Homo-oligomer: A and B are copies of this chain.
């Protein structure tokens, strides 16, 4: 049983072949379809769980499992480390996605989760905005200009005819580099004061690494009466981006309610103050048209269904383009009751034929070590 590993190279090649707009459009449409067809009897989503820590820096290592009944389980593992960019020159979110055959337990595929997370988080905002924002929205405001802001702008630009994008980040480097990062979209992007951004935007995406109790990142002074907010930075218990005043007068729609109540803006609300979730919105889009003219919030904590959609799209392309490395990882052998069969040299020989030994490589520096292991 082989495991398909889609490496960074393969993803880079894939993106050389597939236009980014095509890819984003497809993720948006597939996500819409998946949400509309969502059936709890068929798809089980677990609220993500993880290890939270404060040392050496505050962060989380978490897992997000989703099962398609009688078919597959996807577990995305996500490191959320807001000091990654400063300390290590690495993204705040580093992630990998593993797909298992639920009928056997076999690891079917493994791929990066950084790019897919950015893509699907953008796509989710596009899906929510298409239902909740005014269809005449022309001005997008971005509060926070990090990695996620780029795909927010990209995705929203695919479903609205944007005439202007206003950006704000207290980190000047993020704000100025965003202009360059977003250049390929050919949009009219300009930095703005936060007050002006709030006053002029039809849609606002908040995508910040604001600290616990460091929020809100939005003042709620002069927002448009039809404002739609995609609050995507909420991903940590205690972390909030939006003021309670705004939440109280808005229709607040979480991606995944049980999770949003622990990690999202919904932490600030009681259950009866929370609106329909994203799947309910998509299933009954017509019923929510009235809210296009009033304040609405998409409380986006990150939903495993979105990961399933984006991985499915990328794997389909990888397959079409024959991109991927297949490796035999599990020690399954002819006799399922003999875990030591692999020791037998006959088995070894046949294994070698099956997958030639091109994959031997020097590993000089041990990147891996448990502290316990080192001390022995």
Closest to A33 in B: B376
Chain B residues near A196: list those with CB within 8 A: none
- Given the known interface contacts A111-B329, A115-B339, the answer about A79 and B104 at a Cβ–Cβ threshold of 8 Å is yes
Chain B residues near A366: list those with CB within 8 A: 315, 319
Closest to A29 in B: B376
CA–CA, A149 and B128, complex, Å: 53
Chain B residues near A336: list those with CB within 8 A: 84-85, 89-92, 147
Q: Cβ of A308 < 8 Å from any Cβ of B?
A: yes
Closest to A107 in B: B96
Q: Cβ of A98 < 8 Å from any Cβ of B?
A: yes
Copies held by the complex: 2
Chain B residues near A33: list those with CB within 8 A: 372, 376
Chain B residues near A104: list those with CB within 8 A: 79, 81, 84, 88, 90, 94
Q: Cβ of A246 < 8 Å from any Cβ of B?
A: no
Q: Cβ of A244 < 8 Å from any Cβ of B?
A: no
239-298 of chain A: CB within 8 A of chain B:
none
The majority secondary structure among interface residues of chain A is mixed
> Which of B78, B99, B105 has a CB less than 8 Å from the CB of A79?
B105
CA–CA, A30 and B30, complex, Å: 49
CA–CA, A70 and B374, complex, Å: 14
Q: Cβ of A186 < 8 Å from any Cβ of B?
A: no
> Which of B15, B98, B332, B334 has a CB less than 8 Å from the CB of A98?
B98
319-354 of chain A: CB within 8 A of chain B:
319, 322-332, 334-340, 342-343, 345, 347-348, 351-352
CA–CA, A119 and B73, complex, Å: 26
Chain B residues near A102: list those with CB within 8 A: 51, 53, 59, 61, 79
Chain B residues near A68: list those with CB within 8 A: 370-372
Q: Cβ of A221 < 8 Å from any Cβ of B?
A: no
Check B85 against A105 for contact (C-beta < 8 Å).
no
Nearest CB on B from A359, distance (A): 4
CA–CA, A57 and B102, complex, Å: 10
- Given the known interface contacts A104-B84, A331-B114, A361-B326, the answer about A67 and B91 at a Cβ–Cβ threshold of 8 Å is no
Q: Cβ of A224 < 8 Å from any Cβ of B?
A: no
- Given the known interface contacts A102-B51, A104-B90, A338-B181, the answer about A325 and B326 at a Cβ–Cβ threshold of 8 Å is no
5 sampled A-B residue pairs with Cβ under 8 A: A9-B359, A50-B65, A79-B104, A313-B373, A326-B361
